[in-house]
Structure 1
Amino acid sequence: MHYRDITNVALREGLLVSHGKTPDATMSAQIYVENDRRGKRGETLRFLRDGALIRLADSAASEVKPQDANSAALHDELLACLRVMDPKHFEVLVGRLLAAMGFVQVQNTPYANDAGVDVRAELTTELIAPLRIAMQVKRHAANIRRPDVQNLRGSLHVHERGVFITSGSYSKGAREEAMRDSAAPITLLIGKDLVGLLIEHRVGVTQVNGVLQVSADSLAPTT
């Protein structure tokens, strides 16, 4: 089941009480934290995750991921749309994605003179301290290079985590810089990572007769 469906059932049956604004994000975070703890202790996981879909580890593998969500054609079409989007609209789309993922305080910085940060957001849960991210977004065909990663790191506020998203790729130097010892790590995401998140959280896609397809209207800029 999708973690949002699990959350809705738990709330309806009185199995979960949440005072937060994003109980589905809390549910997803709780399952992630439990799996992480059990994995570090060498214990058997109680839940298995496949993107946003979750099932009990000992249940029959009856949960089938929707075929359209795995469709190579859907992924390719959405990625092609991202690569020709206006760069400013691309940044706005990422902000919308973060909001759909349960992030709050989502703020797109001014398009010009952004000091290396395009979007800032915060994720709050009932288990852990707020996760604050600063994100650089590049609708870019060429490789992102080391100085780009350095600029993002230099713009981080206290307790912020840096995330870089590009529709292109990263040079070897950029990847090395992102994980440089004694420096704040920077998470690097490429186009296929972004496409997976967009499909998972139903941003830029729509469901018609049970089949997911790219939504031109959803990808259009919003005012």
Structure 2
Amino acid sequence: MNSGNFPKFDEFLSPILNSCKDRQEHTLSETIEKMATEFGMSDNQKNALLPSGKRTYIYDRVEWAITYLVQAGLLERTGRSKFRISDAGLTELPVMPKKISHSYLQKFPSFVRFKELRHPKKQNTDDSNGMTPDEELEVLFERREDILIQNLLSSISNIKPSDFERLIIDLVLALGYGKNHEEMARVLGKSGDQGVDGEISQDKLGLDKIYLQAKKWDSKSSIGSGQIRDFIGALTIKNALKGIFITTASFSKDAKETALKDNTHKIVLIDGNELASLMIEHGIGVRTVRNYESKEIDEDYFESF
């Protein structure tokens, strides 16, 4: 799900504060359900995950909305994922605007101090993009990875065919196929069109074979249905039921449909972007320059007191 189709986290500020006007203690999980109902969310929306796949959009945005209200002094924490409206929040309810904005929260000194801690070199930041800090981190990470993917494809385009063969062997081994580099170099040979092809073992005993073909083409070019039909023909000749087609280019719509319609073979298509992503995932041709750890409060620790 695209985050643009989901309520921004500042849109939850007013509804959450209003839902606490009963002066009772409320929980995060209960509030998430209330907000899902209030915004008329479908099950797909409620279950939609952030790009990291670690938490849902609604969990992340409601939790951060509560944090902002707590930092402004309008809500107060009462326990693990529990909170209630504060005296300041009760005073604010009759006079606050229908929609609480970031600029409105700037009137509260405690919120200003909180924002200054987050952005010590930037004043009057209003988070107008509607993203939570966790989302901002994920978006920045994705942008950096997109740049790395393009740089990888550029580097691959400049290597010799023999080096491309080695790259494919390194990747195939990292994916768990084959025994070792020597064996893979023996079974995978140059195909004559700046690529490699051959049969690889899916298991250590070599009982299950997969036919692999890899082509180093211009990243702006496209593999058509004709190449896929040729690939299917090669699978048939070699009596292989499974095939992997890797390219530094992309696959046309017709090429993808041709592979899907083949009921005899199971074919996996890996285009340039996915090839680069797999290289990043398995540390091939890239290195880690720094690590960032994102930490949160350990509620269990404080509950143990």
TM-score, normalisation: structure 2: 0.41
1:9-52: per-residue Cα shift (whole Å, max 9, x none)? xxxxxxxxxxxxxxxxxxxxxxxxxxxxxxxxxxxxxxxxx99x
Q: How much does 1:209 deviate? A: 4.4
- The answer on 1:100 being equivalent to 2:174 is yes
CA distance in 2, matches of 1:78, 1:198: 9
CA distance in 1, matches of 2:176, 2:167: 15
Q: Which letter maps to 2:148?
A: L
1:200-219: per-residue Cα shift (whole Å, max 9, x none)? 111111223449xxxxxxxx
Q: Which letter maps to 2:222?
A: N
Cα pair 2:188 2:198 within 8 Å, conserved: yes
1:162-191: per-residue Cα shift (whole Å, max 9, x none)? 111111112333222212244424221111
Give the SS at the match of 2:190.
coil
Equivalent in the alignment of 1:110: 189
Equivalent in the alignment of 1:154: 233
Q: How much does 1:90 deviate? A: 1.7
Give the SS at the match of 2:261.
coil
Question: Which of 70, 73, 89 is the equivalent residue of 2:163?
Answer: 89
Q: How much does 1:123 deviate? A: 2.9
Question: Which of 126, 132, 135 is the equivalent residue of 2:212?
Answer: 135
- The answer on 1:178 being equivalent to 2:223 is no
Runs (5+) with no aligned partner, structure 2: 1-49, 61-133, 293-305
The equivalences for 1:180-219 within 5 A come to: 180-210=261-291
CA distance in 1, matches of 2:191, 2:246: 18
Q: Which letter maps to 1:144?
A: I
Equivalent in the alignment of 2:244: 163
Q: Which letter maps to 2:145?
A: S
Q: How much does 1:193 deviate? A: 0.3
Identical aligned residues as a percent: 27
Q: Which letter maps to 1:110?
A: G
Higher relative CO (Cα under 8 Å, sequence separation at least 6) belongs to 1
1:91-110: per-residue Cα shift (whole Å, max 9, x none)? 32011111122212434533
Cα pair 1:120 1:132 within 8 Å, conserved: yes
CA distance 1:119–1:56, change in 2 (3 Å): farther
Equivalent in the alignment of 1:44: none
Give the SS at the match of 2:147.
helix
1:96-151: per-residue Cα shift (whole Å, max 9, x none)? 1111222124345331469x9614322338xxx96532111111122212232122
Q: Which letter maps to 2:233?
A: G
Q: Give 4+ residue runs of structure 1 displaced > 6 Å after superposition.
A: 53-57
Which protein is bigger by CA-based radius of gyration? 2
Give the SS at the match of 1:186.
strand
CA distance in 1, matches of 2:265, 2:275: 22
CA distance in 2, matches of 1:96, 1:186: 21
CA distance 1:88–1:152, change in 2 (3 Å): farther
Q: How much does 1:54 deviate? A: 9.3
Q: How much does 1:67 deviate? A: 4.2
Equivalent in the alignment of 2:79: none
Q: Which structure: greater helix fraction? A: 2
Q: How much does 1:80 deviate? A: 1.6
CA distance 1:117–1:71, change in 2 (3 Å): closer
Equivalent in the alignment of 2:202: 123
Question: Which of 142, 151, 164 is the equivalent residue of 1:77?
Answer: 151
User: Number of matched residues?
Assistant: 155
Cα pair 2:241 2:264 within 8 Å, conserved: no
CA RMSD of aligned residues (A): 3.9
Q: How much does 1:76 deviate? A: 2.0
Q: Which structure: greater strand fraction? A: 1
